[in-house]
Structure 1
Amino acid sequence: MKILLKNVISESPGCKDLLCSYFIKTILLWLSEELPTSVWKPDNLIPCFMKCFKRLVYCVEYSVCPHYFIPENNLFENKIIGQSRTKLLQKLNESHDYGLQCIFSSEKISNLPSFTRQQRNVDMFANDIQKIIKSNSILPIQSTTIMDYERCLKSILLSKSKQIRSILLHNMTSLSFNTVHTMQLPNPYGNIYKYKQYKTCICYILQSIQHDAVSGWMMLATLFYKHRQYKKALCVLLYSLTKCTTKKLGFGANISNEHRELFRYNTFRKLGIIRTLRILFLRPIDFFDKPNSILDELKINDKDFNQRTVIPPVTYIHLLTFLCHYCLNNIRNYQESLGDIRLTIEEDYFMSDNGLRAAAFDCLGVAFQIIGDTEAAREAFVKSTEIFPYQLDNRSFQRLAIPKKYR
């Protein structure tokens, strides 16, 4: 606890001298009364440390730390207030999330064996990845303009910091997504203006490919499909599917032991978090008020799609593959794709919550609807509503409400 105080917390900007060792001793004394003597043994060092740490966070958050010998005397009363308290609490919560690993940044224990230090680095890197893929900050920007894109590009060109450029490039690839969504997806077979617009659209999509593992490729396949270039779309989809391995990370997923073993390789830690996410992260396909990009088959009517729809990435690949084969009248192939959608749902493939599972069933229902199996379509839509019973956010409710559709 003293190492934590002196070499971690006090070294953080704005947190120096806010806490003292007497506070730590007081917390330890109170916990020694609350917990049985049998708990305090070497084998329980880490759990005991974390209990003390958690109590320290509580005391700072609620500004209460009773004196051990004079309990009516609150040691934290008017002691840590305002901006200082906010900074301290932020540092404490951040360090607490790392657990025991947080003290390894201390010079006091810098002479640990190299294996231990390497494990520390792996764990901290994995924890950072975990936080990001569970955070809404990884979701795409909802609205943007060409001017936003140009400003971001200008900032990249002017920045001298590699770290800042890396972050800005990540933002620019996200802006590329939205730029494509706001454009009318033009047909290249028309006048020169339409052809140039088509090429511009392709350019933005190719930039978005660098955002994560597959979503940019799927946007490219969607463009080809919309222009009836089915064989081109199938080539892109087949390539995208090769990237959807179990070693990839989905939104909201937990870092597995397999991923931690993967992060032992210095390659990923040298790449950094953002570049690692470009390789490993499978982002859901997100349509939010973007009628230009959404598949017509997913719309209920021409004025549809004012709500947000997020589709699991592998489910979307199989759905688009199904549609391409259906349009090419490849009966055996589209039946296989239909089976792939069902298998993806059964395996819960890259579906971290019920909203994504419900969207997958909705896609399955649409596929059944296209081939004329209305009974199977109805079952899929009903299953979707059971999994995610929110009418405003689940399109299956609207599909089931269409008169005489499934009678």
Structure 2
Amino acid sequence: MPRISKEKGESLNFYKYICQRIGSEEVVRVRRLTFVISDIGQNETIITSGSKGEGLNFNSSDLDIMFIDPYARVYESETEVVKKGGRLPFIMNADETQPCFTQLYLVTRHQNQTLVKVSDGVLNMLEINHLGYVLSSEQYKQFHLSKRFRGKWSAKIHGPCIADEYDNTDFAWCLKCDKWIPLARPWVSRPRTAWPSPELISKIVSCGVLFVPIGCKGSINENLEWRVSFSVAEKFLIFSFSHTQLLCYTLLKILLKEIEEKHEDLKGLLCSYFIKTLMFWISEETDPYSWRPDNFIRYFMACLQRLLYCVRYSILSHYFIPENNLFSLRFNTYNKEKITTIIKNVYAKGINCFASSNILQDNQSRSYEITESLISENNRFLQLASIFPTIRFYGRVNRFARLLYEFLHHSRTDLSKGLFTLQLSAASMLVPEATQYPNWTGNKYHYLMYKHDLSHLMIGLHSDAGSGWLMLASFFYVHKNYIAALTVITYTLQKYTDEKIYLRFLKDKNVTLNYIQHHVVKLMNKDKLHTLLKTLTLHMFTFHSKSSLVPQEIQQDVSSTPNMYDPLPFALFLYFLCNYHLHDLTSCRKFLQRLKHAQWTLLNCGTNVFHPQSVNTVILYGIAHQLMGDTNDARHAFQVAAGLDKYNLTSAASRLSSLI
């Protein structure tokens, strides 16, 4: 009996420690809700998945963003086709594909009328075979790669997705079928212990499935095949996990990631999707109530043992379509033996296998003796705040109205109301960007639009401590109300005090709060999360393409794509512009020096130099010198910016050429 008590105590301590490192139930709930609200507010129908979408946020966490194509729908048969909104109807045909894959062909009925409406881009994605017009998954990916990413940054195709240069974010454009497909119908009624519940199964089935552009490797029609994706269902299932289940799942993902990092020849052999599938099978076979913190180590070791079994015997059935063995032909003799040996050695160490973990790097010194007091307010605040810079770069025109509707109809808890309020405030800043002020309309129309935009910008003041104020100042500047702009900027600059937390830098590995920030967070720990965020945090902010809020002097930088700016340098630049137009050259020189200091600070902050918003700071400094007639200084600034801008994302090179 004492031995059992000791095991349970060790499990509880380790559980508390992992909660601190990965996130408590509350932290995970906030992360999930934040991304769900963000998804609601996008112009396109998107689904945030990956580790971050699941509520996890550790060093190797990835973000997957799935865009559902609004111009197409997939059906099981032609009789089910619904003519709606000009969508192209595609029919599944899995007769010649492996389980979990299908071909998609355009319906033959009314084909001539349909093809008239198909753009040249879609026509290039269609190939003709015995089925008719079949949609090429390869051409579909190439189309979105060239359309969405050309000239922006170094993107690449990664499986069914398009990934950024650093593999931090995967973007996938996919097609949707509103009904549950026949291949997966046995999943609905198969025998199971208690998980998932009938209510959850019903909810999952009602959401249908997705199709992502990738074929079965080695198939003769690989480029024409699409994989059935159950991402929506999987997200619901992950959300139904107890926190113990979620942390076991997380530790397995961390373990897998670190095995890959130490053994280059095993990279890509196992992926997090296999871990997710493994967890689903184990969860379905066990009593949900047994996944408790005092059983944490026991269940983690059981999951590890199952993984070892699956690798050893090369068997891991797809959770929804078991006919598909995910490990079929996955391993050769060498890599199977190597990874089996590694997992056996890890299993033999028990939880001590994390003693040398890079992600859980301080666990050895603490020996898992974690108490509630060690889950400090500053750590909790950082865990919660770190997700907000990630969710602010999507969306534009319809975002505010959709968020407002969901807020009024579906927000029930104080937490959701607070997070909705933050998102509504951030979204409201985007509304005036789309406003056009045509020359042929009268003063009354301009006045009404001015008041409309001003009212939205006033709501936008409360998304954080500074970006809303800068949008308002830019609005006044564009409308040549320089005194009002100066007043707002002066007030904003007073907010840049030592306790403010600049959220862009929370992606850095070893970020901690300074003494003042820690003290302020501690003083305000009784306040609600959204109050802390809007009071203490500062975000970089984005001007969207052709925004009506962009100063004339930088419209070249936002003519075709959005552009990001650091708040403090932009505030100083805008203050300079206002004084320049008011012919106060003394103030111009003064703020030019402050802008120079801000530029120097950003250029000496290590890895952030190559961020477009940091390069933009150097460009702002060059523009200011150019306006003042200091051509040599302007040229030097543009040279520095062009040198940093390795993907030619900014106007640095073109501005430099205009001075030569």
Q: Normalising to structure 1: TM-score of the pair?
A: 0.70
Structure 1: 5+ residue stretches without partners = 20-49, 65-72, 85-92
Quote the Cα distance in structure 1 between the aligned partners of 2:657 and 2:444. Answer: 44
Q: Does the 8 Å CA contact 1:314/1:349 hold for their aligned counterparts?
A: no
Alpha-carbon deviation of 1:309?
Answer: 1.8
Q: In structure 2, the residue corresponding to 1:245 is in which secondary structure? A: coil
**2:577 maps to which residue?**
323
- Which of 310, 332, 340 aligns to 1:78? It is 310
Other-structure match for 1:252: 505
Contact 2:498/2:517 (CA < 8 Å) preserved in 1? no
Matches within 5 A, 1:18-57: 55=255
- Select which of 122, 131, 135 maps to 2:377: 122
1:289 match: secondary structure: coil
Deviation at 1:264, TM superposition (A): 5.3
Deviation, structure 1 residue 327: 0.6
1:135-154 to structure 2, matched below 5 A, reads 136-137=390-391, 139-145=392-398, 148-154=399-405
Change (3 A) 1:14 1:167: closer
Matched pairs, number: 338
Find the partner of 1:348 among 602, 610, 613: 602
Summarize the Cα distance change of 1:75–1:118 in structure 2 as closer, same or farther, 3 Å threshold.
closer
Tell me by how many angstroms 1:374 deviates.
Answer: 1.6
* Corresponding residue to 2:460 among 200, 208, 225: 208
Aligned to 1:290: 546
Alignment of 1:3-402 (within 5 A): 5=11, 8=15, 13=242, 55=255, 76-78=308-310, 117-129=372-384, 131-132=386-387, 136-137=390-391, 139-145=392-398, 148-158=399-409, 159-184=411-436, 191-250=443-502, 251-253=504-506, 254-258=511-515, 261-262=518-519, 265-267=522-524, 269-300=525-556, 305-348=559-602, 352-355=608-611, 356-391=613-648, 393-402=649-658
In structure 2, what is the Cα distance between the partners aligned to 1:209 and 1:264?
A: 21
Amino acid at match of 2:650: N
Provide the rounded CA distance (Å) in 2 between the counterparts of 1:171 and 1:238.
Answer: 26
C-alpha distance in structure 2 between counterparts of 1:166 and 1:75, whole Å: 41
Which protein has the bigger strand share?
2
Deviation at 1:270, TM superposition (A): 2.8
The one-letter amino acid of 1:262's match is H
Label 1:266 to 1:164 Cα distance change in 2 as closer, same or farther (>3 A): same
CA–CA separation in structure 2 for the residues paired with 1:125 and 1:226:
40
Q: CA deviation at 1:298?
A: 1.1
Change (3 A) 1:218 1:131: closer
- 1:78: Cα distance to partner? 3.2
Question: Match of 1:178, SS?
Answer: coil
> Which amino acid in structure 1 is aligned with residue 394 of structure 2?
I
| Structure-2 change in CA distance of 1:229 and 1:247 (3 Å) | same
Question: Matched residues in 2 for 1:16 and 1:173: separation?
Answer: 35
Distance 1:236 1:270 in 2: 30
Give the superposition deviation at 1:83: 6.4
The AA in structure 2 aligned to 1:200 is H
- Alpha-carbon distance in structure 1 between the residues aligned to 2:614 and 2:245: 48
What is the distance in 1 between the residues matched to 2:632 and 2:362?
A: 55
Partner letter of residue 361 of structure 1?
Answer: V
Output the CA distance in 1 between the equivalents of 2:623 and 2:443: 35
Secondary structure at the aligned position of 2:309 is classed as: coil
CA separation of 1:3 and 1:176: change in aligned 2, threshold 3 A: farther
Aligned to 2:338: none
Residues 367-404 of structure 1 show CA distances to partners (whole Å, capped at 9, x for unaligned) of: 1111222221111000111223221x1210121233xx
Change (3 A) 1:330 1:155: same
The DSSP-based 3-state class of the residue aligned with 2:533 is: helix
Question: In 1, distance between residues paired with 2:432 and 2:360?
Answer: 39
When residues 246 and 144 of structure 1 are mapped into structure 2, their CA distance, relative to the original with a 3 A threshold, is: same
Distance 1:17 1:376 in 2: 55
Q: How many angstroms does 1:123 deviate by?
A: 4.6
Q: Secondary structure at the match of 2:543?
A: strand
Note if contact 2:385-2:533 (Cα within 8 Å) is conserved in structure 1: no
1:321 is paired with a residue of what secondary structure?
helix
Shift of 1:199: 0.9
* Structure that is richer in helix per residue: 1
Q: Which letter does structure 1 place at the counterpart of 2:619? A: D
Contact 1:140 1:174 in 2 (8 A): no
The 1-side partners of 2:499 and 2:603 are apart by 12
Offset of 1:222 from its aligned partner? 1.1
Distance 1:17 1:220 in 2: 42
Q: Decide whether the 8 Å contact of 1:183 with 1:292 is kept in 2.
A: yes
Letter in 2 for 1:226: V
Task: Tell me how far apart the structure 1 counterparts of residues 609 and 526 of structure 2 sit (CA, whole Å).
Answer: 32
Q: TM-score, normalised by structure 2?
A: 0.45
Per-residue deviation, residues 4-53 of structure 1 (Å, max 9, x unmatched): 7568499952865997xxxxxxxxxxxxxxxxxxxxxxxxxxxxxx9x99
Report sequence identity in percent.
Answer: 22
| Separation of aligned partners in 2, 1:54 and 1:191 | 61
2:543–2:564 Cα contact (<8 Å) kept: yes
Contact 2:425-2:459 at 8 Å conserved across structures: yes
After superposition, the C-alpha distances for 1:155-176 in whole angstroms (9 at most, x for unaligned) are 2223221111112112211221
Matches of 2:547 and 2:532, distance apart in 1: 31
Report the alpha carbon displacement of residue 353 of structure 1 after superposing the two structures with TM. Answer: 4.0
SS of match in other structure, 2:308: coil
Conserved in 2, the CA contact under 8 Å of 1:209 and 1:216? yes
Match of 2:133 in 1: none
C-alpha separation between the residues in 1 aligned to 2:426 and 2:585? 37
In 1: Cα distance, 2:246 partner to 2:393 partner? 40
Relative to structure 1, the CA distance from residue 100 to residue 217 in structure 2 (aligned partners, 3 Å threshold; closer, same or farther) is: same
Deviation at 1:255, TM superposition (A): 2.8
Q: Contact 2:457 / 2:471 at 8 angstroms: preserved in 1?
A: yes
Contact 2:603 2:609 in 1 (8 A): no
| AA of the residue aligned to 2:414 | K
2:626 counterpart letter in structure 1: Q
**Does the Cα contact within 8 Å between 2:500 and 2:538 map onto a contact in 1?**
yes
